[in-house]
Structure 1
Amino acid sequence: MSGNPFDGGDGYDGGWLVVTNADSQYALWRPHLDVPKGWQIVYSGPDRDGALDYVEQNFTATAAAPTT
């Protein structure tokens, strides 16, 4: 395999993951790559659009409290 595994053009048809960490950050990931330490899989599906839909439906942005 060559190319960027996250652009979908790497020739790998193994689907897409959504991973999240303790800070509620989300990332798209590929199943053939090791999930980084501190991240867990919250979605697994066959296509990138499904993974993006999952993030859109489940991600809640939180604003940081202003520091004084």
Structure 2
Amino acid sequence: MMGNPFDDTEGTFTVLVNDEGQYSMWPAAIDVPAGWDVAHPSDTHQACLEYIEEHWADMRPRSLVEAMRHERA
């Protein structure tokens, strides 16, 4: 029986990003869902984690960051 592909630390993943600048690790064998783009191609679980840690410093959605910026102006 096959386990959950999202939990397979030995599997191959792709890093996705949405319009809000939020990142997700996605099993490479599963089609990219609508609204998401590939930010980092298929790679190991660890390499994808490292990519996300390096590129996703602010976990707030882009729309919230923009709204907060306009409130301060």
Which bracket does the TM-score occupy, shorter chain normalised? 0.7 to 0.9
Q: List alignment gaps of at least 5 residues for structure 1.
A: none
Q: Percent same amino acid at aligned positions?
A: 30
TM-score (norm: length of structure 1): 0.76
The match for 1:21 is: 18
How many residues get paired? 63
User: Which one has the largest radius of gyration?
Assistant: 2
Instruction: Compute the displacement of 1:62 (Å).
Output: 5.7
The match for 1:36 is: 33
Return the match for 1:60 from 53, 57, 60.
57
Relative to total residues, which structure has the larger helix share, 1 or 2? Answer: 2
Q: CA separation of 1:57/1:45 partners in 2, compared to 1, >3 Å: closer, same or farther?
A: same
Q: List alignment gaps of at least 5 residues for structure 2.
A: none
Runs of at least 4 residues of structure 1 off by over 4 A? none
CA RMSD of aligned residues (A): 2.3
TM-score (norm: length of structure 2): 0.72
